[in-house]
Amino acid sequence: MSAYPCLEFDLPKLRHNLLELSKRCNAAGIRLAGAVKGVQSQPTLVREYLPYCDQLALSRLSQAKMLRQAGITADLLMLRLPMPSEIPDLVALAQYSLNSQFRVIQQIEEECTRQNKRHKVILMADEGDLREGYWDKAQLTQDAVRIERQMHAVSLAGVGVNLGCYGSVLPSRENLGDLVQIAREIEQRIGRKLEIVSGGATTSLHLMLTGAMPEGINHLRVGEAIMNARDLHDRRGMNTDFLDPHVVTLKAEVVEVFSKPSHPVGEIDLDAFGHKRAYLDRGIRRRALLALGRQDLGYLEDLRPRLPGIQILGGSSDHLILDIEDSQEEWYPGKIVCFDLDYGTLMFATNSSDISIRYLE
């Protein structure tokens, strides 16, 4: 395998972010599930999360299997609603799952009995983001009570919400307060406290960090903030000075450096992916071609060059094209260029068989 492109994970920086974030969560009475799905649950990374998290949160049971084979015994929380066809593996591998369909939870109960296992469910409320979760909150409460009264191997761990994914809805005192209300009503009906009231993901940290988290939220499932702290700052204007933004670095190699026209020459049709594109004519400019493409990353334009004076012009399956006219650096084939990644590009990159992975101890 080639040395480049490669992803470098700085483990001391990762530990720093886990420590600083978990300190703040604990001070706010919030327990952490470490969402590791965005980095394909790599065991070397996952091991760093263990001292700071109650559960590891993932979305694919193949990754759960891999973690067990790597000897990791921590509680696993499955973030995607279970496919009925994967319930045997779910029960065998994971202690917690997010759920919204009573008939699926009944199937989990039956499978638990078959395997002589126990499993904890978190019922999801849809507070407007319109992905998973009960829209009808009376039905949620009723199903929670039925789980408590009728089931033996499945237990009700609590309730949760997901926001800011499909519907781009921001967590607020109102929607998270509503979740706490649902939890209180269930607790009153079943006569005990719920273990988990899970108020969302990275996007909910803003409320916690500004002291505005509704009382009663005691759990968050956080991935992005730990690996890609910069997203919070750049996209949500959050003060994240206590987090290191450079846990991950993508390194790619230059294969050509030339000055060329900035506007294509000839009759303009479609690009390699069938899209009509616009090109700005800025005259002759210096550009660098890198060996990294959409096969590796998908959204090449979302990469963020670390060096100043570089602009991403675009790319194709195997190439990334940079405008380097304003860069003060020396450019030559073989030069290694460093990039920051966001949530999407990191997810693609960790899934690419042609990007090697290195860990800085």
- The residue ranges that bind ligand PLP (CB under 6 A) are 35, 37-38, 59, 79, 98, 162, 201-202, 221-224
Integer Cα distance of 257 and 269 in angstroms: 25
In the complex, minimum distance from the CB of residue 223 to ligand PLP, in angstroms, rounded to a whole number: 3
In the complex, minimum distance from the CB of residue 163 to ligand PLP, in angstroms, rounded to a whole number: 9
Nearer to ligand PLP among residue 111 and residue 231 (C-beta): 231
Nearer to ligand PLP among residue 36 and residue 93 (C-beta): 36
Nearer to ligand PLP among residue 137 and residue 221 (C-beta): 221
In the complex, minimum distance from the CB of residue 90 to ligand PLP, in angstroms, rounded to a whole number: 15
Sequence-separated contacts (24+) of 320-326 with Cβ below 8 Å: 320/252, 320/289, 320/290, 320/292, 320/293, 321/287, 321/288, 321/289, 321/290, 322/287, 322/288, 322/289, 322/290, 323/262, 323/285, 323/286, 323/287, 324/257, 324/286, 324/287, 324/288, 325/285, 325/286, 325/287
In the complex, minimum distance from the CB of residue 23 to ligand PLP, in angstroms, rounded to a whole number: 18
Q: Are 144 and 123 in contact (CB under 8 A)?
A: yes
Tokens representing 123 are: 């019922």
State the residue number with the nearest CB to ligand PLP. 223
> Crossing angle for the helix pair 137-150 and 102-115, nearest 10 degrees?
20
Tokens representing 180 are: 């706490």
Distance of CA 2 to the CA centre of its chain: 27
Give me Rg for the CA atoms of the chain: 23
Question: φ and ψ at 159, to 5 degrees?
Answer: -130, 160
Q: Are 321 and 270 in contact (CB under 8 A)?
A: no
Let me know if 13 is a catalytic residue: no
Look at the block and give the residue holding tokens 């609590």: 158
Nearer to ligand PLP among residue 201 and residue 297 (C-beta): 201
Nearer to ligand PLP among residue 100 and residue 327 (C-beta): 100
Integer Cα distance of 355 and 349 in angstroms: 7
In the complex, minimum distance from the CB of residue 336 to ligand PLP, in angstroms, rounded to a whole number: 28
Nearer to ligand PLP among residue 13 and residue 221 (C-beta): 221
Q: Are 219 and 196 in contact (CB under 8 A)?
A: yes
In the complex, minimum distance from the CB of residue 316 to ligand PLP, in angstroms, rounded to a whole number: 29
The residue type of 13 is: K
Summary count for the chain: helices (H), strands (E): 12, 16
Nearer to ligand PLP among residue 25 and residue 79 (C-beta): 79
Q: How many CB atoms lie within 10 A of CB 308?
A: 9
In the complex, minimum distance from the CB of residue 99 to ligand PLP, in angstroms, rounded to a whole number: 11
Q: Which residues contact 190 (CB under 8 A, 6 or more apart)?
A: 144, 145, 148, 149, 156
Catalytic residue among 13, 37, 120, 251: 37
**Residues with catalytic roles:** 37
